[in-house]
Structure 1
């Protein structure tokens, strides 16, 4: 009589796939709709900008070096508006993230009362709040980083040095959009936690976001040291270098008093300035070489604002009732 011997079949070792767990999984589960919308929108917009960038390169390769009416019309009717409106969309993207992602992040839980469950669980308030902010911040940084890189690549053949100081160019390339988006999102989360109501928090975050964009645009000239070039008046050679950001133009009299062009309302301007005793002409500007310094300085400032807002939210959540 034979005996059947069963040998255990060799099974391949189980593969441990990376996955979220604990509070990170819960955060993703609760806000997966908003996160997925952000990711899908990023992939769609990134693919569209990639396609447009390839078309733009083909257009520049085929365009003649001299003026051509057909190519000029095609550029003005499609490529220029597409680049302009895409830049404007990226300019207000941090505002949209703050209103629709940051503000409801914590306000919705307080509004619905689900935040009170936190005090009944073994997870501390600090860990609960920090995880939510960290996961959201990661999604925001990745999405805006991809869009910024895609838009920068799209503009590359056109010349990133052209009008680089304009708000829709300065705030949508390099590290600036990532820092602005992170700051507005965490500011929205702080406002939402403080207000505790979703719709009012979104409205207040909208106003705060507009203020952030205004400050970022209005005071970006304070991020670096302006350079000055001067010469005898009138000297046509006294002008800012090519691709520089012209900030101010003023004149100096023999007594050292400064005169702005706006003080001469009569024409011609040269005669008016000569009558005032102007002997020197000066121009203040930011050189193209300062662009990266200005952008990274601005990004560092807004990142610090984001970190302060996030830390204040966590600190406040640990000390106030939910």
Structure 2
């Protein structure tokens, strides 16, 4: 592959940029609006907060905000976190529909392949250019979101185990790439824009759900114990499981005896446990999850190129 494949001056790259300039402007507008909301939260939004209580990393809800901007601050962060969470789905629909599926359905991609552009080079350019834009845009949003959280890290909105952990981590940058790959695979399999968009969306949601199901097990958990007298131990962080401890040390479901000692004795309960991830597990969990998402993306991309070669050979 030539060194100029991704240069703005090379024919294919320039063609892709011009063909999808509307989508590029829409993406730039999305990043600008979301970044503007986060900048407001970082500046005026934070300065208008009135912190009530004692903010402590050992207390999950040790402090709350009740200042002039508290309500708007809360909704802005919720809104931006939701916007970011929809990016993988949007990338899948775009790739399956407009980016690749539409060209395959109309036959313009096949026409290009008969010219000086090989199918592999065509697909590579189609994937790399939006991937670079996605990484650049989401990278800016992650940095801004982390800057907001750094100013009031112990508010519920900014604690990863009570808010949206992905919005604060590189997972935000990796998940849209998975959506992009899923959309591309669906487009090459179906060659119909609408059908490919739907299948790409479904595949992205399925893989995202799978990652979510194993997320809490991506790093070893910590377990703390409490006595029968004091009940469950205090635990700040993401709770994975909790229950009762028997005389043999086994972890069982809580028999819900309350303070009934006879009930506790009948069930051989000698204490209680809580298993989960403390605040210090944020980066290990997020980095492993990011690696998992990137591995899935690489697998889908490899399958996409294999499908392309089969389609071209037919």
Give 1:135's match in structure 2, choosing from 129, 140, 143. Answer: 129
1:165 maps onto 2:161 in alignment: yes
1:119 Cα deviation (Å)? 3.0
CA gap of 1:23–1:108, structure 2 versus 1, over 3 A, is same
Kindly report which structure 2 residues correspond to 1:264-279, keeping only aligned pairs within 5 A, or say none.
264=256, 267-268=258-259, 272-279=263-270
Give 1:26's match in structure 2, choosing from 10, 15, 19. Answer: 15
Which residue of structure 2 aligns with residue 211 of structure 1?
Answer: 206
Give 1:249's match in structure 2, choosing from 242, 252, 261. Answer: 242
- TM score, norm. by length of structure 2: 0.84
1:188 maps onto 2:183 in alignment: yes
1:282 Cα deviation (Å)? 1.8
1:195 Cα deviation (Å)? 1.2
Relative to structure 2, which stretch is displaced further, 225-234 or 131-140? 225-234
Contact 1:95–1:209, Cα closer than 8 Å, also in 2:
yes
Structure number with greater Rg is 1
- TM score, norm. by length of structure 1: 0.82
CA gap of 1:206–1:228, structure 2 versus 1, over 3 A, is same
Contact 2:89–2:204, Cα closer than 8 Å, also in 1:
yes
Deviations 1:116-167 (A, max 9, x none): 113311222111111111111111111111122222222222216844124x
Residue ranges of structure 2 left out of the alignment (5+ in a row): 1-6, 55-64
CA gap of 1:237–1:111, structure 2 versus 1, over 3 A, is closer
Deviations 1:238-294 (A, max 9, x none): 332x3x212211222224443212x43x55466533331111322211121111010
Which residue of structure 2 aligns with residue 96 of structure 1?
Answer: 90
CA gap of 1:205–1:273, structure 2 versus 1, over 3 A, is farther
Relative to structure 2, which stretch is displaced further, 195-204 or 270-279? 270-279
Q: Size of the alignment, in residue pairs? A: 295
Which residue of structure 1 aligns with residue 302 of structure 2?
Answer: 311
CA gap of 1:311–1:27, structure 2 versus 1, over 3 A, is farther
Give 1:297's match in structure 2, choosing from 288, 297, 302. Answer: 288
Indicate the RMSD between aligned Cα atoms, in angstroms. 2.6
CA gap of 1:120–1:185, structure 2 versus 1, over 3 A, is same
Residue ranges of structure 1 left out of the alignment (5+ in a row): 1-17
Give 1:123's match in structure 2, choosing from 117, 126, 131. Answer: 117
Higher relative contact order (Cα pairs below 8 Å, separated by 6+ residues):
1
Which residue of structure 1 aligns with residue 139 of structure 2?
Answer: 145
Give 1:178's match in structure 2, choosing from 168, 173, 179. Answer: 173
Contact 2:91–2:180, Cα closer than 8 Å, also in 1:
yes
Contact 1:103–1:190, Cα closer than 8 Å, also in 2:
no
1:295 Cα deviation (Å)? 0.4
Deviations 1:180-205 (A, max 9, x none): 11111111111122111111111222
Deviations 1:29-85 (A, max 9, x none): 22222122112221222123212321123113xx36569xxx727455322122222
- Distance of 1:314 and 1:269 partners within structure 2: 64
CA gap of 1:64–1:280, structure 2 versus 1, over 3 A, is closer
